[in-house]
Amino acid sequence: MAKLALDGGKPVRARKDFLVFGAPQIGAEEIAGVTDSLRRRWIGTGPKVGEFERAFAAYKGIPASRAVAVNSCTAALHLSILSLGIGRGDEVITTPLTFCATANAILHAGATPVIADVDPFTLNIDPERVARKITKKTKAILPVHFAGRSCDMDALSRLAKAHRLKVVEDCAHAIETEWRGKKAGTFGDAGCFSFYATKNLTTSEGGMILASGEAIADRVKRLALHGMTKDAWKRYSDSGYVHYDVVELGYKYNMTDLQAAIGIPQLARLEKNWKRRRAIWNRYQEAFEDLPVDLPMDAGRDERHGYHLYTPLVRAGAPRNRDVVLAALTAENVGAGVHYRALCDHPYYRKSLGWKRKDCPLASDIGDRTVSLPLSAALTNRDVDDVIEAFRKVLGK
* pLDDT at residue 154, rounded to an integer: 98
| Band of pLDDT at residue 239, cut at 50, 70 and 90 | low
* pLDDT at residue 188, rounded to an integer: 95
| Band of pLDDT at residue 392, cut at 50, 70 and 90 | very high
| Band of pLDDT at residue 229, cut at 50, 70 and 90 | confident
Q: Does 9 have pLDDT greater than 80?
A: yes
pTM: 0.96
CATH 3.60.20.10 fits 5-24+270-336+371-394, yes or no: no
* pLDDT at residue 271, rounded to an integer: 98
CA distance 102 to 97: 10
CA distance 289 to 391: 12
CA distance 160 to 164: 6
Catalytic-residue membership of 166: no
Mean pLDDT over the full length of the chain: 96
Mean pLDDT of 127-154: 98
Q: Where does the chain hold its CATH 3.90.1150.10 domain(s)? A: 5-24+270-336+371-394
Written out in words, the top-level CATH class of the domain with range 28-268 is: alpha beta
* pLDDT at residue 172, rounded to an integer: 98
* pLDDT at residue 230, rounded to an integer: 66
Among the listed residues 48, 166, 183, 199, the single catalytic one is 199
pLDDT in tens, 332-368: 999 999 999 999 999 999 999 999 999 999 999 999 9
pLDDT in tens, 15-49: 999 999 999 999 999 999 999 999 999 999 999 99
pLDDT in tens, 62-79: 999 999 999 999 999 999
Q: Does 114 have pLDDT greater than 60?
A: yes
CB 116 within 8 A of CB 141: no
CA distance 35 to 234: 22
Better-scored residue on pLDDT, 296 or 396:
296
* pLDDT at residue 300, rounded to an integer: 84
Cβ count near 107 (within 10 Å)? 18
For β-strands 190-194 and 313-314, DSSP reports them as unpaired
Q: Where does the chain hold its CATH 3.40.640.10 domain(s)? A: 28-268
* pLDDT at residue 231, rounded to an integer: 61
In degrees rounded to 5, what are phi and psi of residue 260?
Answer: -65, -30
* pLDDT at residue 254, rounded to an integer: 95
| Band of pLDDT at residue 263, cut at 50, 70 and 90 | very high
As to burial, measured by CB atoms within 10 angstroms (0-12 exposed, 13-18 middle, 19+ buried), residue 161 is exposed
3-state secondary structure of 196: coil
Nearest CA to 235 out of 220, 249, 246 is that of 246
